[in-house]
Structure 1
Amino acid sequence: MTKGAETKAAVLHVAADQASVIGLSGLSIGLLAERTNLSKSGLFSHFKSKEQLQLAVIDWTGELFAERVIRPALKAPRGEARLRALFDRMLRWDSGDLALPGGCFFYSASAELDDAPPGPVRDRFLQAYRDYVDAIATVFRTGITEGQFRPDVDPEQFVFDLQGVLMAHHHASRLLGDDRADARARAAFDALIAAARI
């Protein structure tokens, strides 16, 4: 990796941390210059505009999610074991050792962008979010293929229900500070799995 690429990756790490707390709209070249001790002109050479910075953060965070959550979970055996590994890592991505300071970037950005008008940032985020949801559905489908889940269970409905569990966990752990959030989320996940089993 070149020095310029290393610098850009380091800046994007700081930017993603900040975006998880203050939102994509709160990011600015000036804020990052302050946080990274780099010049505004140096940062501008990497990103050109606030919009380009926001797009880069979405891409970088999507790759970080794949690195910390998706790829490690895919090492588990196909089916329920893989789905459990994915769920465990998703909880850790929201409020555990894999988390950004503000928790799940996807939840914070979705709350920020849900009513935003269409445009490059919202469109890029929607694609990243759809990729995230599709990854969960794909893992669930392997459980059907492996004969562990009923073939009549709708993978998209399972993901919808699972998202409800994860969002409830996010609010309980981060907003309410409920120390039972993980246990409650795991109990709800177990109920979803039990309902899907053959």
Structure 2
Amino acid sequence: MSKGRVTKEHILSTAFDLASVNGLESLTIGALAKECGMSKSGLFAHFNSKDNLQVCVLEYANLTFTQRVIAPARAQTDISIEKKLTALMDNWLNWNHSFQGSCMFLDAWKDTPATPSETQVALKKTISTWINYLQIQIEKGVETKEFHQDLQPSQAVFELYGLYLSAHLFYSIRGEEASYQHFWCGVRRLLSQWKA
């Protein structure tokens, strides 16, 4: 790996850590340069703009999310769809809680202006990809008759995502334990309703 690539990986890792604590919108070239021990001009040469920096951090976060949330569940090949979804939900909630009940993908969200920024476009794509992945898993459960044939996968994933958003909120208000308990109570209830 080239020195430039190693430097950029270090910058993105540091930026990811900063954005995980303070939110993506707070990430600036100046603050990141200081944290990395670089000059603003040196760091700017890697990204050229704040938007490009944020998009690169989102891409890095997406890879990290895939490694932490999706890959471990995907590696379990001989399990039911229900168990795979349960593993995905567990990894997903742990992702949230690892950032003290925060989530970069949620915290970076804001009202989309008439002309969305590059960061907003990248963020929407990232979240859509995850929603689609969850929906595909539910569709497989319907196809294999693990879930009943009347189940609407789009509604099912909507309800799952709603539980995650509630867990995110409850972590901030009532703490990790309440967030965890309510989330799993809701997930178990949904999975029970979906079964044939």
TM-score computed with the length of structure 1 as normaliser: 0.90
Corresponding residue number in structure 2 for 1:38: 38
Change in 2 beyond 3 A, CA 1:102/1:179: closer
Corresponding residue number in structure 2 for 1:79: 81
Corresponding residue number in structure 2 for 1:114: 111
2:51·2:117 contact (CA, 8 Å) conserved in 1? no
Write the mapping of 1:148-187 to structure 2, written as runs, cut at 5 A.
148-187=146-185
Change in 2 beyond 3 A, CA 1:19/1:188: same
Other structure's SS at 2:171 match: helix
Write the mapping of 1:88-99 to structure 2, written as runs, cut at 5 A.
88-95=90-97, 99=98
Corresponding residue number in structure 2 for 1:68: 68
1:191 to 184, 189, 192: 189
Other structure's SS at 1:103 match: coil
**Counterpart-to-counterpart distance in 2, 1:100 and 1:2:** 31
- 1:127 aligned onto 2:125: yes
What amino acid is aligned across from residue 111 of structure 2 in structure 1?
A: D
**Counterpart-to-counterpart distance in 2, 1:178 and 1:57:** 26
More off after superposition, 122-131 vs 37-46: 37-46
Q: Structure 2: which 5+ runs fail to align?
A: none
1:17·1:102 contact (CA, 8 Å) conserved in 2? no
Other structure's SS at 2:5 match: helix
CA RMSD, aligned part only? 1.7
Q: How many residues align?
A: 193
What amino acid is aligned across from residue 16 of structure 1 in structure 2?
A: F
Corresponding residue number in structure 2 for 1:48: 48
Quote how far apart the aligned CAs of 1:180 are: 2.1
More off after superposition, 66-75 vs 99-108: 99-108
**Counterpart-to-counterpart distance in 1, 2:96 and 2:118:** 26
More off after superposition, 62-71 vs 178-187: 178-187
Corresponding residue number in structure 1 for 2:6: 6
**Counterpart-to-counterpart distance in 1, 2:34 and 2:173:** 28
CA distances 1:116-164 after superposition (whole Å, capped 9, x unpaired): 4423221111111100111111121222222211122111111110111
CA distances 1:53-78 after superposition (whole Å, capped 9, x unpaired): 01111111111111110111112324
1:144 to 134, 142, 156: 142
**Counterpart-to-counterpart distance in 2, 1:184 and 1:154:** 23
**Counterpart-to-counterpart distance in 2, 1:16 and 1:127:** 18
More off after superposition, 178-187 vs 86-95: 178-187
**Counterpart-to-counterpart distance in 1, 2:67 and 2:93:** 15
**Counterpart-to-counterpart distance in 2, 1:169 and 1:102:** 8
TM-score computed with the length of structure 2 as normaliser: 0.91
Other structure's SS at 2:75 match: coil
Quote how far apart the aligned CAs of 1:196 are: 0.5
1:17·1:101 contact (CA, 8 Å) conserved in 2? no
**Counterpart-to-counterpart distance in 2, 1:22 and 1:61:** 14
Other structure's SS at 2:102 match: coil
Change in 2 beyond 3 A, CA 1:132/1:156: same
1:17·1:100 contact (CA, 8 Å) conserved in 2? no
1:79·1:140 contact (CA, 8 Å) conserved in 2? yes
